[in-house]
Structure 1
Amino acid sequence: MAEVGQRRVVVTGYGCITPFGNTTEAAWDGLSSSRNAVARLKSLPDDALPTPYGAEALAFTGAIEEFGPLDKAQQRSIRKNIKVMCREIQMGVAAAQLAIHHAELASGTYDPERTGVVYGSDYMMTLPEEYAAGVKKCERELNDRNFDTWAGLGMPEINPLWLLKYLPNMPASHIAIFNDMRGPNNSLTLRESSSNAAIGESYMTIGRGHADVIITGATGTRVHEMRSVHTTLQETVATGEFAGLCRPFDKNRNGMVLGEGSGALVLETLEHAEARGAKPLAEILGQGMSTVIAKNGESNRCQALANAMRAALHDAQLSPADIGHIHAHGLATVDSDQQEAAAIVEVFGDAAKQPPVVAAKSSFGNLGAAGGVVELIASLVAIREKQLFPVLNYETPDPACPVNLVRQSMPAPQGPVLNLSVTPQGQAAVIIAGV
């Protein structure tokens, strides 16, 4: 077995579903042309929430054609199983299939026993429609707070397979089954840190010799009948004059913007890629994770991010000066941005010493668990295209957020990207990747 860190792990394919469309090219076109994907909500009543705005992946409908080119057996299998996948799972599987196609990872080019899936997600919430028929059947009793009839009258009206549509381990399960991948299989549910945590786990799993190939990524949403309500009740969402704008690090920011999407990478050892004639698109150089939370439940995102950044730099055997650019979490809430900026300053120094900082959430909002991987893909394409995209909606610098933001398109400096993600609970995950 290879020693941990001795096997080089490369990216040979990627795919994503975003508010800009169902291809990586569409996502890059939106970011590089400085477009804002946020608009008035169409899938939800725009008067039911404190904000009528969100970044919806409207091009994704769940049609079989959106899962990329498939052989007949895969097409039959996916079409048959779409009915037991909620929208988040469908998007996650689609991104993975697009990445597999992009990597030209056809059946027969990999050992199923040495090929696995590690995927991230948000916790998935059931749509109210799943229970509607059962509730209606015993509506009078439920209104009278009599629940004795629910088991006999209500439950039989619910699809017995409903739970399969919402289990967070199902993206990894479906992807493995559709592609006969029998190696390590894992599912991580760490909110916004899920993507980078899944990529980091995949990198370590390959590094320690437990697999040669892993499909990794995440799927997530904040645009959902129940999840949107939870988000607006529990977190700070942009409202008022700037409700349709995500404004990372701007002094007048007032909250995140709802979004949805998915992204996936094909990771494999450099030797495996070369043996099958695949061209590496990038290389995962290091990862770091940290959680910092007090006994009273108060999180410290600044310390968690600083810890994770230092761990990733140590893992990659790099110094802060070696980083080409930083892809910030850039949630656009007052507290999150201040803590993230403080962490960047702690590790890299003041703005004059920092590499350029980008934040794709300014273009498409908070994609939940999927944000990290979509943002990493965006940075890898930016390095390849030698062009960094600007942070949108940044008008008034915040003295409490002294970061070196990219305010207009500029040449991408040489060096890898350091990709940041963190949750409100203080769970941080960082990936360093280069092209």
Structure 2
Amino acid sequence: MSDSHSDTSNRSSRPGSPPTSPRRPTSSVVITGMGVVSPLGNSPEALVAALRAGDSGIRPLTLVPTEAYCVSHGAEAIDFTGHIDNYGDLEKDLKKTIRKAGKVMCREIEMGVAVAQLALQNARFDAESFDRDRTGVVFGCDYIMSAPEEYTDGIAACIEDGRFRFDKWGQTGLPKVAPLWLLKYLPNMPASHIAIYNDLRGPNNSITLRESSAGAAIAEAVSTILRGHADALVVGSTGSRIHLLRTLHASMQETLAADREDPATMSRPFDATRDGSVIGEGAAAIICESREHAQARGAEIFGEVIGYGTSCVGPQGGPRPIRVAIANAIRAAIRCANAAGHGDTPIGHIHANGLGHVEIDRDEARGIQDVFGDVTQQPPVTTAKGHFGNLGAGGGMVEVVGSLKSLGGELFAIRNLNDLDSECEINAVRDNQTPAGESFISVNATPQGQSSAVWIRRP
């Protein structure tokens, strides 16, 4: 799908104009804008300040009733209400359009659109500097579940004598479901909304790889720009595991951390006492541009993507597929950087997946060892999940923003890491005095064995 509009690279954007000469592929891809919605604030600055301060975004849940779940705490993006003010400083017409479209956007899509608008504003997007035919969107998203109340009236209409009549659903129940309900929950809708609201006519793609979505979206975006098919792309991911049905699924299918008297101590990546992940929600977006395009418009460059890799390893790959997938993705990112001539860039730190799951953390630690060797040879390893748990597809991009904003300064410690598990031999960051360095590799993985890694450095 990412190449669906690539033919516009050989044409003027004005109908009837003669074809222009093909554009040469760019030399590198840089990051010129950032936007974030997270349990630790709705700006990159607030996020990094909270990470360095050791703050936690894990609190009593308010968005779902907790009586039916095994946990009653999670990391909600409490500062995001869906109000139009959450989308930043918008022009009047765009503000009106987004406010009106709210009826066909669920919370995850709202967060995705909001961070995209914030990133565009941060990048100083304008119609004069960007060719809309060569500016597009690549967005990661979880699968999105409908809210049960969407069907309440329809189900009620099909109940007779206390029993649901399936034979009445087509004629009686379905007409009571809102005609546009499905548009609120399709995982390709964040990319669609963002493109439509901002008239971005270039490549448009949606990535649905759960926690690995952010890294895969960055990989796809960089590849698309390097091929010469776009000048700039809005790249992001959004996700929530706080939802009536999604939270129920997580409670039944995954190992969640048990409630503690202090919920801020529930998420414990790589700690010997960890007992599972914590549910959360969030989103983030970055603006990726070819270096030539960014320099031509005088943009501030925050970082450069120098390598990327993805991997999926199933049971046939061995007894520890996540270990293999993470090692594969990191090695692929390093090979990518080597091929582009960036292989001598020092790795300042690794932003690990750090889920807090007993086996997955162990497998990740061993995957890192497989690539870099023992603790004395590894770059410093940190993760933000101790602060806010698992944000689903949105987590990887929030973590990228956290690491990117830390480059050149001090790195944040792994929260709640009091006793490093002897089976997790990593060069763990324990304090805020560790330099973040000039580059980082961000890693994420799904419980199903999908992994992505991206290598980003300061310009």
TM-score above 0.5 = yes
Instruction: State the match for 1:97 in structure 2.
Output: 117
Deviation at 1:253, TM superposition (A): 0.3
Q: Separation in 2 of the partners of 1:253 and 1:321? A: 34
The answer to whether the Cα contact below 8 Å between 2:72 and 2:259 also exists between their aligned partners in 1 is: no
C-alpha separation between the residues in 2 aligned to 1:98 and 1:343? 35
Q: For the residues of structure 1 that align with 2:254 and 2:344, how far apart are their CA atoms?
A: 32
- Cross-structure match for 1:85: 105
Q: Return the match for 1:133 from 144, 149, 153.
A: 153
Alignment of 1:332-347 (within 5 A): 332-347=356-371
Equivalent of 2:203 in 184, 204, 211: 184
- Alpha-carbon offset, residue 413 of structure 1: 4.5
Alignment CA distance shift 1:153-1:56 (3 Å): same
Deviation of 1:98 (Å)? 0.2
Is the 2:317–2:324 contact (alpha carbons within 8 Å) kept by the matching residues of 1?
no
The CA deviation at 1:401 is 0.3
Distance 1:60 1:414 in 2: 31
1:356–1:134 Cα change, 3 Å: same
Amino acid corresponding to residue 210 of structure 1 in structure 2: H
Q: SS where residue 79 of structure 2 aligns?
A: coil
TM superposition score normalised by structure 1: 0.96
1:193 pairs, out of 212, 215, 226, with 212
Does 2:322 correspond to 1:301?
Answer: yes
Q: Tell me which of 23, 32, 57 is aligned to 2:77.
A: 57
Which residue matches 1:156?
175
Q: Which residues in structure 2 correspond to 1:5-44 (within 5 Å)? A: 7-44=27-64
Q: Of 299, 302, 311, which aligns to 1:278?
A: 299
Residue 428 in structure 1 maps to residue 451 in structure 2: yes
Matches of residues 372-387 of structure 1 in structure 2 within 5 Å?
A: 372-384=396-408, 386-387=409-410
1:166 has 2:185 as partner? yes
- CA shift, 1:254, in A, is 0.2
Amino acid at match of 2:290: T
| Contact kept? 1:114, 1:183, Cα under 8 Å | yes
Matched, 1:223 2:242: yes
Report the AA paired with residue 138 of structure 1: C
> How far apart are residue 417 of structure 1 and its match?
0.3
Which residue in 2 is equivalent to 1:329?
353
Describe the SS at the equivalent of 2:286: strand
Q: 1:146 to 1:295 in 2, by over 3 A?
A: farther
Match of 1:246 in 2: 267
| Match in the other structure for 1:313 | 334
Structure 1 residues 243 and 329, CA gap change in structure 2 (3 angstroms) = farther
Q: Is the alpha carbon distance of 1:72 and 1:331 closer, same or farther for their aligned partners in structure 2, counting shifts above 3 Å?
A: same
Which AA in structure 2 matches 1:402?
E
Verify: 1:358 aligned to 2:382, yes or no: yes
Unpaired segments ≥5 residues, structure 2 = 1-21
Q: Give the alignment partner of residue 237 of structure 1, picking from 246, 256, 270.
A: 256
- Determine if contact 2:239/2:394 at 8 Å carries over to the other structure: yes
CA distance in 1, matches of 2:80, 2:370: 40
Match of 2:232 among 195, 208, 213: 213
Q: Distance in 1 between matches of 2:240 and 2:181?
A: 19
| Residue equivalent to 1:116 | 136
Query: What is the CA–CA distance in structure 2 between the aligned matches of 1:331 and 1:339, rounded to whole Å?
Result: 11
> Distance between the aligned counterparts of 2:344 and 2:445, measured in 1?
19
Greater mean deviation of Cα atoms: 230-239 or 45-54: 45-54
> Are residues 1:404 and 2:402 paired?
no
Matched-pair identity in %: 46
Separation (CA, whole Å) in 2 of partners of 1:185 and 1:58: 30
Q: In the alignment, what sits opposite 1:74?
A: 94
User: In structure 2, what is the Cα distance between the partners aligned to 1:87 and 1:33?
Assistant: 28
Tell me the C-alpha RMSD between the 2 structures.
1.7
Gaps of 5+ in 1: none
TM-aligned CA deviation for residue 343 of structure 1: 0.5
Asked if 2 retains the 8 angstrom alpha-carbon contact of 1:122 and 1:368, the reply is: yes
Deviations 1:219-265 (A, max 9, x none): 00111111000011111100144782200000110000010000000
How far apart are 1:146 and its partner, in Å?
2.8
Structure 1 residues 299 and 187 mapped into 2: Cα distance closer, same or farther (>3 Å)?
farther
Q: SS where residue 237 of structure 2 aligns?
A: strand
**C-alpha deviation, 1:2, in angstroms:** 6.8
Q: How far 1:397 moved relative to its partner?
A: 1.6
- Confirm or deny: 8 A CA contact 1:51 1:243 kept in the other structure: no
Structure 2 counterpart of 1:110, which letter? Answer: F
CA deviations 1:355-405 (Å, max 9, x no partner) are: 111110000110000111110110011114x01001011111211100111
Between the aligned partners of 2:202 and 2:320, the Cα distance in structure 1 is 35
For the Cα contact (< 8 Å) 1:243–1:257, is it kept in 2? no
Residues 1:223 and 1:320: Cα distance change in structure 2 (over 3 Å): farther
SS in 1 for 2:76: coil
Relative to structure 1, the CA distance from residue 138 to residue 164 in structure 2 (aligned partners, 3 Å threshold; closer, same or farther) is same
In 2: Cα distance, 1:37 partner to 1:271 partner:
39
- Is the Cα contact below 8 Å between 2:270 and 2:361 reproduced in 1? yes
Query: Aligned partners of 1:399 and 1:411: how far apart in 2?
Result: 22
Give the Cα separation in 2 of the matches to 1:187 and 1:412. 35
Distance 1:95 1:25 in 2: 14
Amino acid at match of 1:171: P
Deviation (angstroms), 1:138:
1.5
Cα displacement (A) at 1:153: 1.2
The answer to whether the Cα contact below 8 Å between 1:64 and 1:78 also exists between their aligned partners in 2 is yes
Contact 2:158 2:164 in 1 (8 A): no
